[in-house]
Amino acid sequence: MSGRILLLSIRPEYADKIFRGIKKVELRRTRPRLCGGDLVIVYASSPRKALIGVFEVQRVIQKPLEDLWEEVQEKAGISYQDFCSYYEGVSIGCGIFLSKACYFHEPVNLERLRQEWDNFRPPQSYRYLTPNEVNIVETIADFDVSKFSQFYQITLNVS
């Protein structure tokens, strides 16, 4: 199993692109402490408001925006205009390259999360999960995160 497991909030349209194999790089304004093999559990933000799946990190880069765009423009599932708008006010951006992605069998909506996970609050951007929180996710999503690599449905070529 990977070292770190991150809970990441992503807009629903971009989250869906990840799990359909269209988006192979998740963009962030700040670099999370992730490396190849770490896992990311995806929370699709409003209006969907649900945990929807997991992906494995291939690698993470941090570069000046011009260089970042050059490397991710065909893989990020975003227009140049939206890229510039997202990174307005910063000069360096982060790209999280995905190697595997898998939808959960059923999304876990916010109401159920709050029923079964004391004090659950969706992260504004991301947060690292404790082993106990990973167990909660595995139980309510009926998905064995520790065996993720056996269950992935999409292998992404991001070289």
User: What span, in angstroms and rounded, lies between the C-alpha atoms of 135 and 141?
Assistant: 10
Whole-Å CA distances, 74 to 52, 139, 147: 24, 36, 30
Q: Over the stretch 47-79, which tens digit does the pLDDT of each residue have?
A: 999 999 999 999 999 999 999 999 999 999 999
Domain that holds residue 92: 5-154
User: What span, in angstroms and rounded, lies between the C-alpha atoms of 113 and 149?
Assistant: 24
Residues found in the chain:
159
Averaged pLDDT for residues 70-98: 97
| pLDDT value at residue 12 | 97
Is residue 159 situated within a structural domain? no
pLDDT band, residue 85 (cuts 50/70/90): very high
Whole-Å CA distances, 4 to 35, 66, 119: 8, 29, 21
Is residue 141 situated within a structural domain? yes
Q: What's the whole-model pTM score?
A: 0.89
Averaged pLDDT for residues 96-112: 94
Is residue 19 situated within a structural domain? yes
Is residue 71 situated within a structural domain? yes
Q: Which residues pair with 53 in a beta bridge?
A: 42, 103
Q: What is the CATH number of the domain that holds 140?
A: 2.30.130.30
Is residue 102 situated within a structural domain? yes
**Does residue 112 register a pLDDT over 80?**
yes
**Does residue 157 register a pLDDT over 50?**
no
How many separate domains does the chain show?
1
**Does residue 118 register a pLDDT over 70?**
yes
Is residue 49 situated within a structural domain? yes
